[in-house]
Amino acid sequence: MTNTLDRRAVLRIAGASTGTAVLTAALTTTGPAHATASVFRHGVASGDPLPDGILLWSRVTPTDEAQPGSGAGPDVQVTWQVGTDPDFATIVAQGTTATGPARDHTIKVAVDGLTPATTYWYRFGYGDAWSPTGRTMTAPPPDAAVDRLRLGVVSCANWEAGYFSAYRHLAARGDLHLVVHLGDYLYEYGTGQFDAGGTVVRPVRPVHEVLTLADYRVRHACYKTDPDLQALHAALPWVITWDDHEVANDQWSGGAENHTPGVEGDFAARLAAARQAYFEWMPVRAGANGAIHRRLRFGQLAELSMLDLRSYRSAQASGTAVDDPNRTITGDDQMSWLKAGLTGSTARWKLVGNPVMMARLDLGSLPAWLLGPLRELLGIPQNGAVLNPDQWDGYNADRNELVDHLRANRTRDVVFLTGDIHTSWANEVTTRSTVLSGPAAAEFVVPSVTSDNIDDFLGLPPGNSLSVLGASVIRATNPHVRWTELDGHGYGVLEVTPQHCRMDWYRLAERTSPTSGSSWVAGWSVATGSSRLRQEYTPLP
């Protein structure tokens, strides 16, 4: 999420395949219940599945002093096991690994030698305590014929704005193979600075804005005490990238809007602290020099390229500066990697995990009542500029380069999966120069899990007439935006088959309720060989 006003001023203004057995297995524990709860209190997780391997994660609290961020407690050895059944009657991989205060007692194990396209269960042990049991899956071989892939897609989970019921509903589905998280897994603000329409639903820890390594560790630990987040991590492997709030709002390569040099310390030190805590606490594989952009393949059906749109970008700009070819959102190396990967892929579908919206957003003719809340939400300058400089709109040269490259190489079946702006969109990706020749790709944008959106900024109930009218105006002024919904909090479910790529959107009944239900909102799909979107009128079966 972006803001181009002073951040504190804006804050003041804003004020699995076996049904339910998947979730049951994910939450199974063995050994003494008290020991498990006290020793492995932050759950388990897996991520970045390969055909022969998976990354496993947990955290151990071996003594009372070994609290997150404390830098205290002993160095210990933790055991881990991977089995073909939830009772671990057949163990196919096991070992021990060391952890301690130097890595905040977190555990990450890259397990290899596994069988492709296989479901496994895993757990960690310390003393007489075992962690909750997690369930994960390896990817199919690169050349395998895959009939279907279903992904849960989420973004923007603000602790203080509500409960993570979206995660609970995804964990309970039983038909998913993977979760894709597109960033803003957590938020850096202090308590009350970024709440639910002026209300703190549940206070975050630490209560102040996070700045130091200890702060970021405590904030990660706070999030991983949420039972719904723990359930979804335990039920399925995740593929995750970061956006800005894992460090600070509107982060770029050399700073952030939500960082005041001289008052909040050196930004490079803050960034290093945030990144260290992130890699300690998240089931993510780090590349050379901590690079997080990476590519995973799921047979012949799909290849997923996860982008990092914060580490290499130029500072946000406005006016004609957004057209400057010397400014970048991806960085030169990542852009080359992305273009080569998309055009060179032999997979049917080329999916792109894209933290901020790719599609153009022209807002010049919007009425003042809608422009105000949208400006706060999207970071549109007060002078009425017609784009959001924190999205690809602020980096036109990079977007033109990528779209032109797809066109020149006749690369089809590219779908961007996007988060960040807390609202739901089905877009056809064009630039001004390609409007007449048709879209180069499709884009599905998922809503926030809890973070504020239009109705929250307006102080009106969801589905109010202004929000509905605003969505209609956006579509009228942006023909490539086929559908948008501005109020709902929730999640997406993406189905990929050889014939189509389809997103279904689901809305929570009430984000401030820990038992919130959810309902289907819409479905849009794109067929193989076409970037034109088609509306679906019934939910995925």
- Look at residue 356 and tell me if it is in a domain: yes
At residue 363, does pLDDT exceed 70? Answer: no
- Look at residue 203 and tell me if it is in a domain: no
* In contact, 267 and 254? CB cutoff 8 Å: yes
What would the mean pLDDT of 331-344 be, rounded to a whole number? Answer: 98
Q: Please check whether residues 184 and 94 belong to one and the same domain.
A: no
In the chain, the number of structural domains is 2
With a CB cutoff of 8 Å and minimum separation 6, the contacts of 176 are 16, 150, 151, 152, 170, 236, 493
pLDDT at 463 (0 to 100)? 85
At residue 22, does pLDDT exceed 70? Answer: no
Q: Please check whether residues 336 and 439 belong to one and the same domain.
A: yes
Beta strand pairing call for 414-418 and 134-137 = unpaired
- Look at residue 222 and tell me if it is in a domain: no
pLDDT at 46 (0 to 100)? 98
Q: Please check whether residues 339 and 456 belong to one and the same domain.
A: yes
Average pLDDT of the chain to the nearest whole number? 90
Q: What distance in Å separates the CA atoms of residue 342 and residue 441, rounded to the nearest whole number?
A: 11
pLDDT at 371 (0 to 100)? 55
* In contact, 123 and 87? CB cutoff 8 Å: no
Vertex 447, ends 342 and 321: CA angle to 5°? 60
Q: Please check whether residues 11 and 114 belong to one and the same domain.
A: no
User: Which three-class secondary structure state does DSSP give residue 410?
Assistant: coil
At residue 35, does pLDDT exceed 80? Answer: no
Vertex 220, ends 219 and 222: CA angle to 5°? 65
Range(s) of the domain holding residue 133: 31-137
Q: Please check whether residues 311 and 439 belong to one and the same domain.
A: yes
DSSP-derived secondary structure letter, 196: B
CATH of the domain at 127: 2.60.40.380
Least confident span in 169-173, 235-239, 344-348, 472-476: 472-476
Q: Please check whether residues 53 and 179 belong to one and the same domain.
A: no
Q: Where are the beta strands (DSSP E) in 118-192?
A: 119-126, 129-130, 134-137, 149-154, 178-181
Q: Please check whether residues 35 and 175 belong to one and the same domain.
A: no
Paired residues of 304 in beta bridges? 296, 351
Q: Please check whether residues 100 and 152 belong to one and the same domain.
A: no
With a CB cutoff of 8 Å and minimum separation 6, the contacts of 207 are 190, 191
Q: Please check whether residues 169 and 60 belong to one and the same domain.
A: no
pLDDT at 435 (0 to 100)? 66
- Look at residue 434 and tell me if it is in a domain: yes
pLDDT at 69 (0 to 100)? 98
Q: Which of 137, 152, 170 delimits the end of a domain?
A: 137
pLDDT at 366 (0 to 100)? 54
* In contact, 58 and 107? CB cutoff 8 Å: yes
Q: Please check whether residues 390 and 501 belong to one and the same domain.
A: yes
CATH of the domain at 450: 3.60.21.70
Q: Please check whether residues 471 and 498 belong to one and the same domain.
A: yes
- Look at residue 131 and tell me if it is in a domain: yes
Q: What distance in Å separates the CA atoms of residue 494 and residue 303, rounded to the nearest whole number?
A: 14
Query: Where residue 10 falls among pLDDT bands split at 50, 70, 90?
Result: very low
pLDDT at 296 (0 to 100)? 98
What would the mean pLDDT of 364-378 be, rounded to a whole number? Answer: 57
- Look at residue 443 and tell me if it is in a domain: yes
H or E stretch at 405: helix 396-408
- Look at residue 24 and tell me if it is in a domain: no
Paired residues of 533 in beta bridges? 526
Q: Tell me the pLDDT tens digit for each residue of 113-135.
A: 999 999 999 999 999 999 999 99
- Look at residue 395 and tell me if it is in a domain: yes
Q: Which of 137, 172, 197 delimits the end of a domain?
A: 137
pLDDT at 18 (0 to 100)? 34
Q: Please check whether residues 185 and 48 belong to one and the same domain.
A: no
Q: What distance in Å separates the CA atoms of residue 492 and residue 157, rounded to the nearest whole number?
A: 14
